[in-house]
Structure 1
Amino acid sequence: MRKIFLGFIVYALAELALLIVIGQNIGVLSTLLLIIATSVIGIYVMKNKGMNSVQNVKNTLARGEAPGAALVDTFLTFGGGLLLALPGFLTDALGLLLLMPFSRKMFQPIVYYWMRKKMKKGQFIIVQR
């Protein structure tokens, strides 16, 4: 628990320091507009691309195929949009990495590993209706 709390403190301080440095270099108003713009883009990505990905998972299930790849793609797309919607440049950078197809392949094995671990413990179940 202490490690998580310490991680949040370190993240918040790093994000704040980065905001100050960027604000000094490009100006406060430009920094705020950039944060707002990335938040709007993140919300757009979550709404449109996220829903397209969910539809892709449904289509995969309707064909009777395992939704593994589509599910991971949906998770990464929604996560990238969510990180873009959060204010801050570190979260924006990670969100962009999750949205880019060439760098998304880097994160796919991590998500597969996490899903397998949750399934083995019975904490992650896919229900088809």
Structure 2
Amino acid sequence: MGRILFLLFLIVPIIEIGIFIIVGQLIGLWLTLAGVVVTALLGSFIIRIQGFSLIREIQQLMAAGVLPTRQIADGLILAIAGALLLTPGYFTDTIGFLLLVPQIRTLIYQEIKKRISISGGFGSADSFSFDAEMDDLDPFNNSAPGSHHNIEKENDNDDVVDLEQDNWRPKS
């Protein structure tokens, strides 16, 4: 993950600089800079509209007792789109505007859902297992693994130890 972020922070600015040079040669410096500002303003306006709509939809689903997983994912994708649109550059603006398209967000959501379903969550399905015999969990067994206190019972026939009575004492 660290390498991917490093490459993104290295490659994206290089792409942006190249696009700035090309666009600047085609339309000039001031129009290039104005384009960056206009796309940031337009993107923030669209995100605000979609965000309010998304909040209403989440509230309606929550009121109906439905978990709005898809809408939460859309909200996260919209937040990423907003960050990309506010970042100066035509490349990041293009990606940000693409993330505003509902069909593209649906594809991203389905891909994430598929990856989570395959792995059984955010971790591997086989990453945790527990195997124990019930005899290993007996607190009165001196050889029980992990036992720190053992209680000496006065009457070995009882299955229940009443801790409120004085018929027990910790083993020393």
Contact 2:43–2:97 (Cα < 8 Å) also in 1? no
Q: Which residue of 1 aligns with 2:86?
A: 85
Moved segments of 4+, more than 4 Å:
113-117
Q: With CA pairs under 8 Å and 6+ residues apart, which has the higher RCO, 1 or 2?
A: 1
In structure 1, the gaps of 5 or more residues are 122-129
Q: Distance in 2 between matches of 1:41 and 1:15?
A: 19
Aligned residue number for residue 74 of structure 1: 75
The answer to whether 1:14 aligns with 2:19 is: no
Q: TM-score, normalised by structure 1?
A: 0.77
Using the TM superposition, give the Cα deviation of residue 73 of structure 1 relative to its aligned residue in structure 2, in angstroms: 2.2
Match for residue 41 of structure 2?
40
Q: Structure 2 unaligned segments of length 5 or more: list them.
A: 124-172
The RMSD of aligned alpha carbons is: 2.4
> How many Å separate the matches in 1 of 2:6 and 2:62?
39
Q: Percent identity?
A: 27
Q: Deviations over 1:43-63 (max 9, x none)?
A: 223333213212321221111
Change in 2 beyond 3 A, CA 1:114/1:15: farther
Q: Distance in 1 between matches of 2:36 and 2:5?
A: 25
Aligned equivalents of 1:106, 1:2: Cα separation in 2: 25
Residue by residue over 1:64-117, the C-alpha shift from the partner in whole angstroms, topping out at 9 and shown as x without a partner, is: 012112222222233223322221111111111111123333222234357767
In our comparison, the structure showing a higher alpha carbon Rg is: 2
Contact 2:47-2:100 within 8 A present in 1 as well? no
Name the SS for the 1:22 alignment partner. Answer: helix
TM-score, normalisation: structure 2: 0.60
The 10-residue stretch of structure 1 (14-23 or 101-110) with the greater mean CA deviation from structure 2:
101-110
Residue 55 to residue 111, structure 1, CA distance change in 2 (3 Å): farther
